[in-house]
Amino acid sequence: MAYFDNAATTYPKPECVYSFMDKFYRNYGFNVGRGHYTLSQKANNLIVETRNKLKDLLHCPNKQVIFEPTATISLNLIIQGIILNGAKNIYISPFEHNAVTRTLNYYEKKKDIKVHVLAVSKDLNYDLMRIRYQFDKNTPDFVIVSHASNSFGVIAPVEEIFKIAKEYNAITLVDMAQTAGLVDCNIGSSVYDFAVFAGHKTLYGPTGISGFVMNPDIQMPTIIFGGTGFDSANQYMPDDLPERFEAGTLNILGIAGLNAALNWIQQKGISTLLKVELENRKKLINILKNFWFINIVGNNESNEYVGIVSCLINGISSDSAGNIFDKFNIAVRTGLHCAPLAHKFMNTYPAGTIRFSVNYFTSDKDFEELEKALEFIEDNI
């Protein structure tokens, strides 16, 4: 299969991820924090090690790493917690995932909050001057920005936005589902309060292990309660981090895979992974531009991107195109990509787009198969 759906989950994973998961789970796949025997402690040591590797990767030894099953759960924990803390004016980019917008819409419908969209021009540039004006008019309590759009791949200037937000004492959250492990970012900076990561995307780990990095000085209530493996007589969630937000059994198999992936990323180097992905993105764009019936959406050479390209095919709907590519054993993603606000902003709503997304492992063979499919479409359109 020619795989162009890496924005949903990277595939394949590095071979070391597969082999280490199998080896570790067979030998040390025990519960942690609930047993004092040696093998359980070895599993616990892996979790500690993986937290520290994430801190190294994201340059944040001063922050706390929390593991969750998905980035969606992570975003819910943070967003709902900050709203429960009293945040009223909340700003988002036009490119947020439904994990953000659905959560906010729920609270906005209850009239608990007001959601504002950050000023972005149609060429996908964030207007920092207008954003400052927005903040002057309605002081931000909470600012949420996707580091890179999962629909169009454009990278947001999060540090610059958050520097302005901090002048207003706002809490900040960056969604790094499409960038953690790919785009270097100093999350240890004081302008970042929260950063969400998805283990199965640009971190090249398995599904079922994601989480967030947080400023430990922020007092945030939890919305999920349960066992933590210690202090069991206490009928309230402990104040300790990370346990306060890690109720229940951790995905030790997923953490093992993430650990192996982090080792691989460290060996390859983030800059190398990004370089190769952007080279593959350039190859993809050059192929798409060769076909008259394809319109690339949201590509502005002056902006920075990850390996995501959205397009439209003249005369063929997004969903129909997905079925056509599938007949050629090519995996693409079609529709709204769980980001309807982004497609409304780009005038591709409600049908959405055909999204191609490449990664480090995208091969010349993948591109050859894609060209064959596009040539067939051209001959039969």
> Is residue 146 predicted with pLDDT exceeding 70?
yes
First vs last C-alpha separation in the chain: 23
Give the least confident one: 188-197, 230-239, 259-268, 371-380: 230-239
The dihedral through the CA atoms of 60, 224, 86, 209 has a sign that is positive
The dihedral through the CA atoms of 194, 199, 201, 202 has a sign that is positive
Mean pLDDT of 110-117: 94
> Is residue 200 predicted with pLDDT exceeding 60?
yes
User: What's the pLDDT score for residue 235?
Assistant: 87
> Is residue 80 predicted with pLDDT exceeding 90?
yes
> Is residue 206 predicted with pLDDT exceeding 60?
yes
User: What's the pLDDT score for residue 322?
Assistant: 87
Question: pTM of the full predicted structure?
Answer: 0.96
User: What's the pLDDT score for residue 136?
Assistant: 98
User: What's the pLDDT score for residue 229?
Assistant: 74
Q: Are 230 and 25 in contact (CB under 8 A)?
A: no
**Residues 29-43: tens digit of each pLDDT:** 777 765 566 667 788
User: What's the pLDDT score for residue 30?
Assistant: 73
**Residues 47-76: tens digit of each pLDDT:** 999 999 999 999 999 999 999 999 999 999
Hey, how many other C-beta atoms are within 10 angstroms of the C-beta on 155?
Answer: 17
User: What's the pLDDT score for residue 33?
Assistant: 64
**283 - beta bridge partners?**
none
Angstrom CA distances, 117 to 84, 94, 131, 145, 351, stand at 21, 6, 9, 10, 22
Please, what's the b/e burial string for 288-319 (b: 16 or more CB within 10 A of its CB; e: otherwise)? beebeebebbbbeeebebbbbbbbbbeebebe
Mean pLDDT of 94-98: 98
Q: Are 296 and 289 in contact (CB under 8 A)?
A: yes
> Is residue 228 predicted with pLDDT exceeding 80?
no
For residue 253, which amino acid is it? L
Specify the higher pLDDT residue, 80 or 39: 80
